[in-house]
Amino acid sequence: MASKTEAAVYTHGHHASVLRSHSTRTALNSASFLLPHLKPDMKILDIGCGPGTITVDLAEYVPQGYVTGLERVGDVLPGAQALADSRGIKNIDFVVGDGNGLTYPDESFDVVFCHQVLQHVADPIGMLKEMKRVAKKGGIVAARDADYSVFMWFPEIEGLRDWQNLYDRVARKNGGEPNAGRFLHSWARQAGFVEMKHSVSSWAYGQKSEVAWWSETWQERALKSSFATTALEGDLERISKCWKAWGEDVDAFISIPSAEIVCFKQ
C-alpha cells in the first residue's frame, strides 16, 4: 500500500457554490461511458466523490454489489450520506482518504473510478498506478476529466477569455493540469495500462434555467471559492460581472467537453 499524499491544492475547493455545481452531476450525465461495463454484483471505489451524487447513482447500478465514495475533505461526506439515506441506498459508504495512498489491499475492487480529479493532482500517473493496484485482475479503472482550453461559449463576452487564462494560471500554480482531458490516455499508458477505450462527451447548457444556474455559480465562485483565494492576480470582480453579463444574454450557451478512459487491468 502506498503512503504518498496529495501535494497539489484543489483549485475549486468546497465552497457552497462549488458543491451546488457539483451536485448536478449524475451517473448519466457524468459517467455514461462507464455504465455499460457495470455488472450488478460489482464492488466500486469512487475517488474524489465530493457531494456523492454520482456515487449514489452508481450504487443503484450494482444492487448486489457495493460502492465506496472516498474524499479527502470529510466535511462534505455527511451530505453525501444523507443523500444516500434519502434515496434508501444501503449498499454504500463514504470514507475520508487520499487517492494517492489508498489503504486498501491489492485487487480490492472491480471498478475504480474518478471524475474530474486527475486535473487537480500533482502526480496523475502515480494516482492511476494506485487505482490500478487496488483494481482486481480483469477489473476496470475509469476516469473523466475536462479540458479547460476547449470550453466553448456564446456570446464572446469581453473578459471571459481572461477568466479562462486566469483559471489556467491558478490551476497550474496549485500543481494541477487544467487541460487534463487530452492527457488521460497517455497518463494511463504510462501507468501501465495496455487495453483501454477512449471517448469524449460534453455538458452543454443553453436552456434559460441552465444558463442562469451556471452564470450564478461562477459569479459566486469567482469571488468566494478556493479559486478566488488562490488567484493572487486578476480582477475577480470583473470576472464575476462578466459571468453575470453572459448569463443575461438571451442566446447564451456553453459546452464543456471532457475526455474519458476505461482501462482494463490484465
**114-163: pLDDT as tens digits:** 999 999 999 999 999 999 999 999 999 999 999 999 999 999 999 999 99
What domains can be seen in the chain, in order of their start residue?
16-264 (3.40.50.150)
C-alpha cell at 203: 455538458
> Which pTM was predicted?
0.93
Percent of the chain with pLDDT over 90: 84
